[in-house]
Amino acid sequence: MQQQTGATNARRNTPPAGAMAFAAHAARAGKAGA
């Protein structure tokens, strides 16, 4: 839940490229955490 909210806020505040990079990083962190 927190990751989804953070990603949504990041997309709103950051440009498309930044959002994509943030999403990729979040996915990596999620996989590593899991």
Residue 4 has pLDDT above 70, yes or no: no
Check: CB of residue 30 under 8 Å from CB of residue 3: yes
**Range from 1-5, 14-18, 19-23 carrying the lowest mean pLDDT:** 1-5
pLDDT value at residue 25: 72
pLDDT value at residue 1: 47
- Cα torsion for 4, 27, 23, 21, to the nearest 10°? 160
| pLDDT 10s digits, 17-28 | 666 677 777 767
CB environment 1-34: b (16+ within 10 A), e (fewer): eeeeeebeebeeeeeeeebeebeeeeeeeeeeee
Mean pLDDT of the chain: 62
Q: Where are the domains of the chain?
A: 2-33
Integer Cα distance of 13 and 18 in angstroms: 9
